Chains A and B, each alone.
Chain A
Amino acid sequence: MKVLLILAALSVAVIGKETFEGHQVLRITGKNEFQHSLLKDMAEMEHLQLDVWMEPIDLSTPVDIRVPFTSLQTVKAFLETEDIPYSVMIKDLQVMLDEEKEQRLSAARATEPRTTDDYDYTNYHNGDEIYSFQEMLVAENPKLVSKIVIGQSYEGRPLNVLKFSTGGTNRRGIWINTGIHSREWITQASGTWFAKKIVTDYGRDAALTAILDNMDIFLEIVTNPDGYNYSHKTNRMWRKTRKPNPGSSCDGTDLNRNWDAGFGTAGSSGNPCDQTYRGPKAHSESEVKSIVDFVKSHGNLKAFIDIHSYSQRLMYPYGYTATPCNDQRELHDLARKAITDLASLYGTSFRYGSVMTTIYRASGISIDWSYNQGIKYSYTFELRDTGRYGFILPANQIIPTAKEAWLALMAIMEHTKDNTN
Chain B
Amino acid sequence: MTTGVLNPSHYPARRAATVVQHYLNTRYGSPYRWIFLSTVHSGSAEDVAEMGRKYQLELTMQEMISNVSGRCSAELLFPGGEGQSAPQVQASCEGLHQSNTTAQEEAFYQQHRASNNLASGNDIPDSYGHMEPSVKPFWQLGGVASSFIMLRESNESTLYNMAQVANFTQLETEKDQLRFNYHVLLHEMISQEIIHWKLLVTWSPAQGVQVLQTELQPKCRHCEAPPNTTN
- The reply to whether B9 and A236 contact each other, CB–CB distance below 8 Å, is no
Nearest opposing residue in chain A for B143, CB measure: A388
Interface residue? B171 (CB, 8 A): no
Bound Cα distance A185, B225 (Å): 16
Interface residue? A178 (CB, 8 A): no
Binds A, one of B81-89, B93-101, B216-224: B216-224
Fill in one digit per residue for A318-349: 1 if any B CB lies within 8 Å of its CB, else 0.
00000000000000000000000000000001
- The reply to whether A392 and B161 contact each other, CB–CB distance below 8 Å, is no
Of A236, A237, A269, A397, the most chain B CB neighbours within 10 A belong to A236
Count: A-B pairs, CB below 8 Å: 92
Within 8 Å by CB of B128, from A237, A249, A359, A395, lies: A395
Interface residue? A393 (CB, 8 A): yes
A274-B193, A275-B192 known; A351 vs B129 contact (CB < 8 Å):
no
Min C-beta distance of B135 to chain A, whole Å: 13
Interface residue? A22 (CB, 8 A): no
Bound Cα distance A231, B224 (Å): 10
- The reply to whether A275 and B191 contact each other, CB–CB distance below 8 Å, is yes
Give chain A interface residues in 324-382, CB to chain B under 8 Å: 349, 351-353, 357-360
Within 8 Å by CB of B129, from A232, A249, A395, lies: A395
- The reply to whether A124 and B36 contact each other, CB–CB distance below 8 Å, is no
| Count, chain A residues at interface, CB 8 A | 40
A236-B228, A357-B10, A359-B11 known; A394 vs B125 contact (CB < 8 Å):
yes
Give chain B interface residues in 1-29, CB to chain A under 8 Å: 7, 9-11, 14, 18
Interface residue? B163 (CB, 8 A): yes
- The reply to whether A235 and B225 contact each other, CB–CB distance below 8 Å, is yes
Nearest opposing residue in chain A for B126, CB measure: A392
- The reply to whether A234 and B128 contact each other, CB–CB distance below 8 Å, is no
Min C-beta distance of B1 to chain A, whole Å: 13
Within 8 Å by CB of B163, from A254, A391, A397, lies: A391
Contacts of A396 in B (CB 8 A): 129
- The reply to whether B128 and A394 contact each other, CB–CB distance below 8 Å, is yes
Min C-beta distance of A410 to chain B, whole Å: 23
Bound Cα distance A396, B131 (Å): 12
Interface residue? B33 (CB, 8 A): no
- The reply to whether A390 and B223 contact each other, CB–CB distance below 8 Å, is no
Interface residue? B206 (CB, 8 A): no
Within 8 Å by CB of A276, from B7, B127, B192, lies: B192
Min C-beta distance of A6 to chain B, whole Å: 49
Binds A, one of B42-50, B66-74, B112-120, B182-190: B182-190
Nearest opposing residue in chain A for B12, CB measure: A357
Contacts of A358 in B (CB 8 A): 9-11
Nearest opposing residue in chain A for B125, CB measure: A392
- The reply to whether B187 and A391 contact each other, CB–CB distance below 8 Å, is yes
Nearest opposing residue in chain B for A352, CB measure: B9
Contacts of B224 in A (CB 8 A): 234-235
Of A237, A349, A395, the most chain B CB neighbours within 10 A belong to A237
Interface residue? B227 (CB, 8 A): yes
Contacts of B91 in A (CB 8 A): none
Min C-beta distance of A155 to chain B, whole Å: 17
B contact set with A: CB distance below 8 Å: 7, 9-11, 14, 18, 36-37, 39, 64, 125-130, 161-164, 185, 187, 189-194, 219, 221-225, 227-228, 230
A contact set with B: CB distance below 8 Å: 123-124, 185, 231-237, 239, 249-250, 254, 269, 273-276, 311, 349, 351-353, 357-360, 386-397
Q: Top 7 nearest A-B pairs by Cβ distance?
A: A394-B129, A387-B161, A275-B192, A237-B194, A249-B221, A392-B129, A357-B10
